[in-house]
Amino acid sequence: MQQNAIVVSAPGGADVLKVTRTQAPAPGPGEILVKVAAIGVNFIETYQRSGVYPVDYPFIPGSEISGTVAALGEGVQGLSIGEAVATSRAVAGYAEYAVVKSEHVGKVPQGMDLQLAAALPLQGMTAHYLVHSSYLVRQGDVILSYAGAGGVGLLLTQMLKLKGAMVITTASTQEKKDLAKAAGADHVVDYDQVADTVAEVTDGRGVHAVYDGIGKDTFETSLAALRTRGTLVLFGGASGQVPPFDLQRLNTGGSLKVTRPSLNHFIEDPHEHAWRFGDVFGWAASGTLDVRIGASFDLAEAGAAHAALESRATTGKILLLP
């Protein structure tokens, strides 16, 4: 069976994302084949495409998809042909069909739009593990995050408010500030106002935790914003990777903690994956969690989707539609 897929033959700019006719994959033992309905576009794919993260070329990017089960590999139980599923761990997801291990998918709640479902697995479960596991947020905590109108940022703020935290976040335009405010953020400021805002809001004590997905450009501000025994959760590097630094600074800064987590380490256990997936999709289905899809592109326009994401002009989630 032939399919359309986005194939990257060599590292480069967004123009190397080419739609190509390829052989559709077949599921192996313990795997399922998903007929893809929508694909989530994420920064990691821009790093793979450009060569920042090494991959074997040619390759098909993409791990976050929603769709319906098209075929079952040997030994798969608990899933049926035609069931709606979503995952953040598909293989070669920029395509009409993709293979994924059966334990890495979750069932989409009945009646949920599959485009909405594609916007949730990676960024929704990322926000979930940040709030519930990397640093366990408590009622009354003061939290600093960045990019409050981004895909993770909007979901993270809503989950922080569900936990009873006060949220300070950043946004670069008035439109993005309005979106972050609508998500529940208490203080939405420009990046150069972070230090003064933290000092004012906390009476100089600092925040309990910082969620930083920016990396190199914000790391020093994040570290300085922490109170004694505060925690910096560095979960991404959109501006580049943080250079090595002297661990003694954590002592002199007030017995601080820094952690560098990634989603897959927080969903390896099937029970933990089911907990996070169930919470995130349940909140979205009930309306407790508002999910913003900022833009959708046809699969053949994957290059334009990457360019939009890298421009930082987008808000919420970007999708590809096969």
pLDDT per residue as tens digits for the range 251-266: 999 999 999 999 999 9
d(CA 84, CA 68) in angstroms, rounded, equals: 4
Q: What is the pTM of this model?
A: 0.95
Q: What is the three-class DSSP state of 94? A: coil
pLDDT at 53: 86
47-to-19, 83, 127, 242 alpha-carbon distances in Å = 19, 32, 21, 16
80-to-43, 73, 83, 125 alpha-carbon distances in Å = 32, 11, 6, 24
Q: How confident is the model at residue 38 (pLDDT cuts 50, 70, 90)?
A: very high
Q: What is the three-class DSSP state of 90? A: coil
d(CA 224, CA 98) in angstroms, rounded, equals: 44
Mean pLDDT confidence for 199-223: 97
Our CA dihedral for 194, 199, 200, 204, rounded to 10 degrees, sits at 170
pLDDT at 312: 81
Q: What's the burial of 71, exposed, middle or buried (CB within 10 Å: 0-12/13-18/19+)?
A: middle
